[in-house]
Amino acid sequence: MNDFQTFFAMGGYGAYVWPAYGLTALAFIAMLGWTVTTLKARRREEQGLSAAGRARRGRREAKS
Amino acid sequence: MSAAFALFLHDLKLQFRHGSDLVAPLAFFVLAVLMVPLGVGPEPNLLARLAPGMLWITALLATLLALDRLFQRDFEDGTLDLLALSPMPLELTVLAKVAAHWVTTGLPFMVIAPILGVMLHLDGNSFLALEISLLIGTPVLSMIGAFGAAVTLGARRGGALLALLVLPLYVPILIFATSAIAAAGEGLSPRPHLLLLASFFAGGIVLVPFAAAAALRNALE
Amino acid sequence: MTTARIPLLHRYANPAAFGRLSSQILPWTAGVSAILLGLGLYFGLFASPPDYQQGNTVRIMYVHVPAAIMSEVVYGLMAAAAAAGIIWKHALADLFVKAAAPLGAAFTFICLVAGSLWGKPMWGAWWVWDARLTSELVLFFLYLGYLALVDAFDDPQRGLRAGAILVLVGVVDLPIIKFSVDWWNTLHQPASLITMSGPKMDKSMLLPLFLMIGGFTTFFITVVLMRLESELLARRIRAWRTASGDE
């Protein structure tokens, strides 16, 4: 436990080192997370729209 | 060439007709400079040290004030379309408009700047450097500003966006102009700083019209 | 689709085709990124010594410097893509600029905050007008300007083109800005003994640094590929919506 505390204290600079790494990690998670979420949502939306478009075309061709 | 000059004169006439367009940037300039001693205290040495920076910062901001109308009116009433289609190159149109803008903002600044310098206790040796830095630098402000106005044409919230785009690009001009004035105040030569400013002027005159014209074409399509 | 201005649609401007290509590349870049970042963290935080002068704050360098490098490299890539988009009118080029911009802004932000956290114990102030930090701040605003401009147009294509022109002007001005800020800094501040670029590098410090640089780069490649597919999809969605609106 003492070893961990020493490590965590970073020779007194812990208050600077950990927020720096923490913010970097947060930024990476945000970049990745936001990208993946938007990508999945858009994939779903595009599939929905193209399916609807194909269905419309099918109906139109059936009518003519 | 004469077509460009005609456009320049025409724009000037328009500016003078709407007198308020002229007064606002100037009034802002004077008021902003007057705010400085009110904000930091009237101690002459402090004001003298702040003077080059404050004069140039307010020149920057007042230039911005007059910029978003540079192309806006012509864009809205269709004149810009006609200018783009005319045999005169769009790049030359840009230069003509920049020149007109400068005559109504940069040039008047050069006239009042010495008076404001006196009020800010600017060092006596600095006045010539102040004037030269304004002479070389304010046209560059107008040029870069014209690019900003062109690239934000047709954008939503163009006015606020313009400041965001243009101020970072103004940084080198601000730095070299103020250090020229400060150097002169310390008895050093302002020449190297002014020569660098002149190189920005030269580069800007060549490059900015092309960038601005490309941005205008994008907005007009 | 009759005007000559329509961009040359390469096969990979089709989001499905692009998605297939990127799904082959992504697992590799993501995997390599995870490994490099993991190793970099291990060596950076555990298995490397503190600095003789700066103590453990030097470990901040292992995120600050890679972020700084990425912030500049990404802008350079954006400028190259912007030029390619204007010259060859390839849809992917303009979209790459838009895809990369938020990532570049994030790296710049990390660089600024980590630099500030490094500066406080070293120089006693949360913000110092160090030449590198000041230039980074201006670069941050160049990124913000692009992001604001590109989304400010109702016509997305117009926004992309305006943004491309802005990035090209910015990349020409960037060295001038850095030069002027550096020059301004030496004019106004005495030379400091401890520079932001860190102490003279011992081999034990170079290793985590390079691992993190590699990790940051592969992370960028991974995320930008995903964002690029996302932008292509957004374009396709708009096209579908316009088409169905015509019915």
3-state secondary structure of C90: strand
C4 belongs to a structural domain = no
Closest CB from B156, B171, B221 relative to C138: B171
The single-letter DSSP state of residue C191 is: P
Q: Is the pLDDT of residue C247 over 80?
A: no
Instruction: Answer whether residue C9 shows pLDDT above 60.
Output: no
Give the range of the structural domain holding residue C47, as residue numbers without chain letter: 19-235
Write down the pLDDT at residue C6: 41
Predicted local confidence at residue C153, as pLDDT: 93
State whether B155 and C161 contact (CB < 8 Å).
Answer: no
Report the residue from B152, B156, B171 with minimal CB separation from C181.
B171
The confidence band for C4, taking pLDDT boundaries of 50, 70 and 90, is very low
d(CA B108, CA B102): 9
Is C25 contained in some domain?
Answer: yes
The ipTM, to two decimals, is 0.89
Contacts of residue C32, Cβ cutoff 8 Å, sequence gap at least 6? C214, C218
At C62, the pLDDT band (50, 70, 90 cuts) reads: very high
Mean pLDDT of B36-48: 91
Q: In 3D, which of C196, C214, C74, C38 has the Cα closest to residue C123?
A: C196
Residue C5 counted as domain residue:
no
Query: Any chain C CB within 8 A of the CB of B195?
Result: no
**Poorest-pLDDT segment among B13-22, B103-112, B124-133, C184-193:** C184-193
Mean pLDDT calculated for residue range C101-122: 93
Q: Find the closest chain A residue to C225 by CA distance.
A: A35
- Judged by CB atoms closer than 8 Å, whether chains meet at B151 and C181 is answered as no
pLDDT score of B96 more than 90: yes
Can you read off the two tokens belonging to residue C152? 């400010």
Neighbours of C235 (CB within 10 A): 19
What is the pLDDT confidence band of residue C196, given thresholds at 50, 70 and 90? Answer: low
Task: Give the model's confidence band at C155: pLDDT under 50 very low, under 70 low, under 90 confident, else very high.
Answer: very high
**Other beta carbons within 10 Å of C200:** 8
pLDDT band of residue C185 (cuts 50, 70, 90) is confident
Across B60-69, B96-105, B181-190, C79-88, least confident range: B60-69
Calculate the alpha carbon distances from B168 to B60, B151, B162, C161 in Å: 11, 15, 11, 20
Which one-letter DSSP state was computed for residue B78?
T
The tokens 């140039």 sit on which residue? B56
- Those residues with Cβ within 8 angstroms of residue C197's Cβ, 6 or more apart along the chain or in another chain: C65, C132
C246 in any annotated domain? no
In total, how many domains does chain C have? 1
**Residue type at C67 in one-letter notation:** A
Residue of C nearest to A31 (CA): C103
Count of beta carbons in the 10 Å neighbourhood of residue C153: 21
Give the mean model confidence (pLDDT) for residues B5-17: 82
pLDDT tens digit string along B145-170?
999 999 999 898 888 899 999 999 99
Which chain C residues touch B214 with a CB distance below 8 Å? 86, 165
The structural domain count of chain B equals 1
Residue C70 neighbours by CB under 8 Å, 6+ apart:
C103, C104, C107, C216, C217, C220
In this model, does residue C222 exceed pLDDT 80?
yes
Q: Enumerate the β-bridge partners of residue C55.
A: C51
More confident residue, C195 or C234: C234
Task: List the Cα angle C126/C190/C141 in 5-degree steps.
Answer: 45
pLDDT value at position B30?
Answer: 86
Specify the pLDDT at position A4: 77
Q: Tell me what pLDDT residue C75 has.
A: 97
Q: Could you tell me if residue C89 is left (phi over 0), alpha (psi between -120 and 50 degrees) or otherwise beta?
A: left
Q: Are C99 and C228 in contact (CB under 8 A)?
A: yes
Query: How sure is the predictor about B47, in pLDDT bands with cuts at 50, 70 and 90?
Result: very high
In SS3 terms, B88-137 reads as CCHHHHHHHHHHHHHHHCHHHHHHHHHHHHHHCCCCHHHHHHHHHHHHHH
The per-residue pLDDT for C183 is: 86
Write the pLDDT tens digit of every residue in A9-47: 777 788 889 999 999 999 999 999 999 999 999 999 988
Instruction: Tell which phi-psi region holds residue B157, choosing left (phi > 0), alpha (psi between -120 and 50) or beta.
Output: left
Q: Is residue C12 part of a domain?
A: no
Across C216-241, average pLDDT = 94
Q: Torsions phi, psi of C8, nearest 5?
A: -70, 115
pLDDT exceeds 60 at position C5: no
Mean pLDDT of B14-34: 77
CB contact (8 A) between residue C179 and residue B172: yes
Q: What is the mean pLDDT of chain C?
A: 87
Q: Are C180 and B176 within 8 A, CB to CB?
A: yes
Give the separation between CA B72 and CA B85, rounded to whole angstroms.
17
Between CA C140 and CA C200 the distance in angstroms is 28
CA A29 to CA C187: how far, in whole Å?
40
- The per-residue pLDDT for B173 is 95
- Residue B31: both structure tokens together: 């008021």
Q: What CA–CA distance (Å, rounded) separates B39 from C55?
A: 42
To the nearest whole angstrom, how far is the Cα of C234 from the nearest Cα of chain A?
A: 7
Domain housing B133: 2-220
> Beta-carbon neighbour count of residue B110 at 10 Å?
16
Instruction: Note which residues in 15-54 of chain A have CB less than 8 A from chain C.
Output: 16-17, 19-21, 23-24, 27-28, 30-32, 35-36, 38-39, 42-43, 45-46, 49-50, 52-53
CA atoms within 13 A on the CB side of B37: 16
> Which of B65-69, B186-190, C204-208, C229-233 shows the lowest mean pLDDT across its residues?
B65-69
Beta-carbon separation of C153 and B156 below 8 A: yes
